[in-house]
């Protein structure tokens, strides 16, 4: 279930990290947070500009992606998992908790709208969505400025419902003076 394994098998180079990887793989064991992601990138010599970033951590995805972009990293293509259980047009993210791990329910990540706002705020155009699970963003430099490609999705309840959790509206950190 790796978004990058296929690329690595065809000669690409890259870094894969997971909190609990298969010990027989090249995946580095790292628990990723918004606070440590840039230090991890430095530890593994990730260049500031690189081709492909895939984010799927079943929790703080929005917060970690924003940390990467605020840290000066500029991937050309971003693929991120979003919470397709959240209705269309709703801007919400899981309240940040650095120790959060997925509980196999629908309390994780952020909405399609939250990721779209994050992407646009940081100079990325949404170009595609797959299976109410993954969003694809290209750097605006590659598409000639910010574009709206009309990408939409249909919500689907594919995980156990977990009501009454700590959701909040996504607001870029710069607007909150949290940078």
Mean per-residue pLDDT for 34-52? 97
Identify the pLDDT of residue 54.
94
Mean per-residue pLDDT for 34-51? 97
At 155, the pLDDT band (50, 70, 90 cuts) reads: confident
At 147, the pLDDT band (50, 70, 90 cuts) reads: confident
At 160, the pLDDT band (50, 70, 90 cuts) reads: low
pLDDT tens profile 89-139: 999 999 998 998 888 888 889 999 999 999 999 999 999 999 878 999 999
Give residue for tokens 């079943």.
58
Residue 162 has pLDDT above 70, yes or no: yes
Sequence ranges of the domains in the chain: 32-176
pTM, two decimal places: 0.89
pLDDT tens profile 48-105: 999 999 998 888 999 999 999 999 999 999 999 999 989 999 999 999 989 988 888 8
Query: Of the candidates 121, 145, 125, 146, which has an alpha carbon nearest to the alpha carbon of residue 135?
Result: 125
Please indicate whether residue 120 or residue 173 has the higher confidence score (pLDDT). Answer: 120
Per the prediction, the chain carries an average pLDDT of 89
């Amino acid at each position: 279930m790796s978004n990058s394994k296929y690329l690595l098998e065809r000669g690409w180079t890259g870094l894969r990290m997971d909190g609990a990887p298969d010990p027989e793989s090249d995946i580095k064991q790292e628990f990723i947070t918004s606070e440590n992601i840039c230090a991890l990138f430095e530890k593994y010599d990730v260049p500031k500009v690189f081709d492909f970033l895939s984010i799927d951590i079943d929790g703080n995805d929005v917060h970690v992606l924003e940390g990467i972009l605020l840290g000066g990293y500029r991937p050309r293509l971003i693929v991120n998992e979003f919470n397709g259980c959240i209705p269309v047009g709703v801007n919400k993210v899981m309240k940040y908790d650095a120790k959060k791990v997925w509980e196999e329910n629908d309390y994780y990540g952020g909405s399609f709208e939250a990721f779209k706002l994050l992407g646009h705020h940081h100079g990325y155009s949404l170009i595609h969505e797959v299976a109410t699970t993954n969003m694809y963003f290209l750097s605006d430099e590659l598409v000639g400025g910010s574009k709206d490609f009309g990408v939409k999705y249909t919500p689907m309840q594919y995980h156990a419902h977990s009501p009454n959790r700590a959701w909040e509206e996504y607001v870029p950190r710069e607007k909150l003076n949290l940078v």
